Structures are given as structure tokens and as C-alpha cells.
Amino acid sequence: MANSRPAYGQPAKPPLDCAPMKLRLIHFPLSPFGRKLRIALSEKELQAEIEEAEPWQMGAELTAMNPAGTLPVLEVDGETVICPSPAICEFLEETKQGAPLWPENPMDRAEARRLAAWFDEKFHREVTELTLYERVYKRLKQTGHPDMSRMRAGFHNLRIHLDYVSYLADRRRWLAGDDLTYADLAAAGHISAVDYCGDVPWDDYPIAKDWYMRLKSRPSFRPLLADRVPGMGPADHYENLDF
């Protein structure tokens, strides 16, 4: 990756309407936050350059773009960088890029935001960090073996969250209501990353599985099914739309 990208916070002239923008998303393939954004860009039918990177290998180049040192980041028109993922989502909505992924009604929008935060914060803390990060990230970063006690806790928590997904999906067309929103995309980003390792007990949660299969069958999801981690292939069912 070039070292000439603009620094975080560099002044720019972001568009205030739906004028086309040149977008570049830099992400790590199994990052649930990057996955959420990749689905969103596709659902909005936005053209974007998608670039893979390992954040722990980027060093000062990454902190120049994002002082927090995390991916994903979105480069806009080669002038500025937006991060983290919630800010990117809001930027796409506020600049009216593609079809909206927040509901129009304020109450429905509040519920969708609540659920998006549920998965990006609570699910991430209670499941993703304890399972995916232990199993995959430690191996790639060469920082030791998985902590099995943390993984057991994560698998226990995963079942609690799948119960909640089942509860929501049994009462609504999508998790937050009648329309697909960032709530579904955030949930799918995290669950699909865990599912890459085959750690989701789908047979015990048929309602959650049906919701996931509907989302997994959308064209916007297909690029995620092609993701591969070096030296660690996906579970056998990972690519199957009907599993």
C-alpha cells in the first residue's frame, strides 16, 4: 500500500448531496465491521475499490489514516479518510449515497440503530473477541495459542445471542422491522465471520438460520463467501446458500 494517503482529519470537501464519489475501502477480510460495510456498499450499488490489508502489518501507515490503528477505513475522493465503521455508515447515509439502510420513521430508525450497536458492541465483546480473535487473529499475528476458557465462554454467549436473533426474526421480516437495515448487516458481519470457522450451531436455531440464509442469498453477500484466510480454509458449509 502506498504511503501517500491523506492523514486522518485532513481537511476535505465532502459532498452534501448524492454526487458520485470515488471510494476506497481498506479492510481485513474477516473483520465483521469491514464485512458490514462491504455488504452496505453493494446493497447501495456503489462502486468502490476494495483493498485487503492486515492491520497489524501496517504500522505507521495505518495510524496516519486512523489514530486508533484499526480497520476498516474509507478513503473518499483521495482527500480524506473516514472511520470507524459507524461513522462510515452515517457518512454514506448523510450524503445520500445509494438506497438508505436506516428506516425513514424515527422510531424505527432508533430501533435499527440500537440493534446495530448491539452486534457491533455487545456481540463483538461477548462472542467475536472470545472466539474469532482467539482462533484466527492470534494465529495470524503469531501471538500464542487460543485461550480455551475464553473460547468456551464465547460459544456459550453465542447461543444466547442466537436466541435473541431467533426472537427478533420470528416477529419481524428483518431484525429491526420490515426492511433490511444496518442492524441485519452488523449481525451478519459478526455471525458470518464466526461461521467461517464453523462455530455456529445452526441446527439448534432454525429461525436464526432462515434469516441468515435469506441474507446470505443476496448478491451483496457473495463476495464474503469468497474470502479466504491464508492457511485456514472455511468450514465445509460456509459457501453453501442452502446448508
Domain ranges for the chain: 23-94, 106-225
The CATH class of the 23-94 domain is: alpha beta
To 5 degrees, how large is the angle CA 40–CA 16–CA 75?
50
Q: What is the CATH number of domain 106-225?
A: 1.20.1050.10
The pTM (predicted TM-score) of the whole model is 0.90
Alpha helices in the chain (DSSP H): 32-43, 55-58, 60-65, 85-94, 106-117, 132, 138-141, 148-171, 182-196, 206-216, 222-225
- Residue by residue, DSSP assigns 183-233 as HHHHHHHHHHHHHHTT---GGG-HHHHHHHHHHHTSGGGHHHHT--BTTBP
Alpha-carbon gap, residue 205 to 195, rounded angstroms: 14
The string of pLDDT tens digits covering residues 108-166 is 999 999 999 999 999 999 999 999 999 999 999 999 999 999 999 999 999 999 999 99
Alpha-carbon gap, residue 175 to 178, rounded angstroms: 8
Which residues pair with residue 190 across a beta bridge?
none
The string of pLDDT tens digits covering residues 5-54 is 445 455 445 444 556 789 999 999 999 999 999 999 999 999 999 999 99
Q: CB burial class (10 A; 0-12, 13-18, 19+) of residue 200?
A: buried
